[in-house]
Structure 1
């Protein structure tokens, strides 16, 4: 008999608690061990029951999702998936929660009480399974204390632009990388982080407040400037054309829009061999085709290593193309970008 994934559901709506619990309990490999109607109760139950995964509503009375998250992480070695409605406050709390240790988030389809929450069932179930797997990986990392770093080749070429791609686990890594870059990097940086529309705006604003570089959500027709980070807006592919940003609504790639492949391929065509690309943690294989295009045009590729990736999907797919130049833990990637761009 296999051990089921134990989930605690925290939401101030009794209806949401019931629907979310039913979705989880319908899966053979997971079960809801309890529910909580607010953050305070959720904190106490997480400390007592030690669940594998907590689903945590972002906007709640008494303690909001961010406040509850911080307390839960103090007392319970579990992964937390935030459930957020697209409000200004909700998106800001969600972005900060990801930086503070939340595993990932799910957007409620139609507000705090989403009768159509079943639309995201497949996404929620998949993320619960990945969250449990990440818990198990963390235990192995704590035991081994291994740090991986693999240099395949060195580079000594002029870099005119940097492209970054990430998904699950990406917001925290991108925050750490971008806020550690200097204000005189003198190249533009383009970012695809898989997020729904609205959340990318909050992400860009959070980065801009904390970074030495200017950080903006990309806009169609926007001129490309050095020392500026452009975040692809949720719901749009971001491409580069004639020193301007172009946004389009062409079909999703790998089920996502924006897609890393779309940005990387476009940037490779524009910047040729003078492009540095980096693939971070995330589910799936988005970015692998773009990495091949960058390498075919003579560019340079960094991939995040397995140990520090929340989900080793995208970096693995990139590495398996044979086009990656260096594999690094997350905390060494900013240093490598600076070294390559400034050729120090």
Structure 2
């Protein structure tokens, strides 16, 4: 396998050195240059043509978001954004501009403990190097407006009705952009609840939910403990919490409600698609639809296998549109998917199957 050539971009000389040293410690990675701001990054990307760029967001002269937009339009290159706590909205925008993934700096812009994310950084750089750049374009604002349409109020009976079926969506690397091509296409009259697990840290899933809600005709929000599972609502698992459903008596009627837990990480992640699916199966069984989108690893595979055994249906994203063909591949290779669809057909598949 060829050595992965990386450009490190950060306005802090300390961070450039530490990030560069972390990456250089891996024999499969070569740090070919470092850049101190967005303008410097653009010049070096154009001249050196790295395989992957790690990009800080907050920088003088030209910030990381502006540099990312230029790079993806003029010399497309896989970019991993390095975000500090509190920059969730900007990070979600970076995905719209074509970022592959992001790393959360442990303690702010100058993170002297950045070594704590060493393994994650190396793993994500390796994954980014394998991404087909054609799958990473900028999402134009007019395209979002076309998807959004006119937001409509949900009918009262739809909101209060006990759901007869449920949709579970799991995604990881590339997921924020994939979800923006699925959730906004669901109609406000969609008669099933949608529960989403997107691998993101605490603080970022709320920004993702708010962004999706602003683009969608269906209601989207970050889940809270005790939420009633209702048709026509999309609930996104909060970062760093497993989301499950359980049954509870409400006004003399048994309803399904959300429970958030700090249980052990599963396959290194929390929230976990497997954990959510395994809580859904005993309640919904064959009335559940599992949807697995782009992402590293195989989270969701065990839950999907159990869902199929219970008679549920499964949709997996086709390799042709996956940013990272990991999670769908685990499902597809074991012949667990009833339908294999490109991302632009997933919403239609959900509406026809659920």
TM-score relative to the length of structure 2:
0.87
**Structure 2 equivalent of residue 67 of structure 1:** 66
- Paired residues, number: 320
What SS is found at the alignment partner of 1:94?
helix
99, 106, 111: which one pairs with 2:108? Answer: 111
**Structure 2 equivalent of residue 17 of structure 1:** 16
**Structure 2 equivalent of residue 99 of structure 1:** 96
Following superposition, the deviation at residue 213 of structure 1 comes to 1.0
Structure 1 CA distance, aligned partners of 2:351 and 2:61? 44
Structure 2 CA distance, aligned partners of 1:122 and 1:245? 32
**Structure 2 equivalent of residue 152 of structure 1:** none
Structure 2 CA distance, aligned partners of 1:63 and 1:198? 26
Query: Given that residues 159 and 275 in structure 1 are in contact (C-alpha distance below 8 angstroms), is that contact kept between their aligned partners in structure 2?
Result: no
What SS is found at the alignment partner of 1:302?
strand
**Structure 2 equivalent of residue 301 of structure 1:** 314
Structure 2 CA distance, aligned partners of 1:291 and 1:83? 32
Query: Given that residues 188 and 226 in structure 1 are in contact (C-alpha distance below 8 angstroms), is that contact kept between their aligned partners in structure 2?
Result: yes
Structure 2 CA distance, aligned partners of 1:292 and 1:25? 39
Unaligned runs of at least 5 residues, structure 2: 136-162, 248-255
Between 1:183-192 and 1:263-272, the stretch displaced more is 263-272
**Structure 2 equivalent of residue 254 of structure 1:** 267
Tell me the C-alpha RMSD between the 2 structures.
1.7
Query: Given that residues 72 and 97 in structure 2 are in contact (C-alpha distance below 8 angstroms), is that contact kept between their aligned partners in structure 1?
Result: no
Between 1:58-67 and 1:304-313, the stretch displaced more is 58-67
Give structure 1 regions of 4+ aligned residues with deviation exceeding 6 angstroms.
Answer: none
Provide, for residues 258-300 of structure 1, a one-character-per-residue CA deviation record: whole Å limited to 9, x for no partner: 0000111111222121111101111111101110121122111
Provide, for residues 16-75 of structure 1, a one-character-per-residue CA deviation record: whole Å limited to 9, x for no partner: 001001111122121111111111221222122211111001222233322211111122
> In the alignment, is residue 223 of structure 1 matched against residue 201 of structure 2?
no
> In the alignment, is residue 236 of structure 1 matched against residue 241 of structure 2?
yes
Structure 2 CA distance, aligned partners of 1:161 and 1:36? 48
Provide, for residues 151-174 of structure 1, a one-character-per-residue CA deviation record: whole Å limited to 9, x for no partner: xxxxxxx96111000111111101
What SS is found at the alignment partner of 1:230?
strand
> In the alignment, is residue 123 of structure 1 matched against residue 120 of structure 2?
yes
Structure 2 CA distance, aligned partners of 1:321 and 1:224? 30
281, 285, 288: which one pairs with 1:272? Answer: 285
The residue correspondences of 1:129-168 to structure 2 (distance < 5 A) are 129-135=126-132, 160-168=165-173
> In the alignment, is residue 79 of structure 1 matched against residue 78 of structure 2?
yes
Unaligned runs of at least 5 residues, structure 1: 139-157
Query: Given that residues 84 and 104 in structure 2 are in contact (C-alpha distance below 8 angstroms), is that contact kept between their aligned partners in structure 1?
Result: yes
**Structure 2 equivalent of residue 176 of structure 1:** 181
Between 1:174-183 and 1:2-11, the stretch displaced more is 2-11
Query: Given that residues 99 and 175 in structure 1 are in contact (C-alpha distance below 8 angstroms), is that contact kept between their aligned partners in structure 2?
Result: no
What SS is found at the alignment partner of 1:192?
strand
Structure 2 CA distance, aligned partners of 1:159 and 1:171? 28
C-alpha distance 322-3 of structure 1, shift in aligned 2 (>3 A):
closer
**Structure 1 equivalent of residue 29 of structure 2:** 30
Following superposition, the deviation at residue 137 of structure 1 comes to 8.8
**Structure 2 equivalent of residue 155 of structure 1:** none
Following superposition, the deviation at residue 133 of structure 1 comes to 1.2
**Structure 1 equivalent of residue 298 of structure 2:** 285
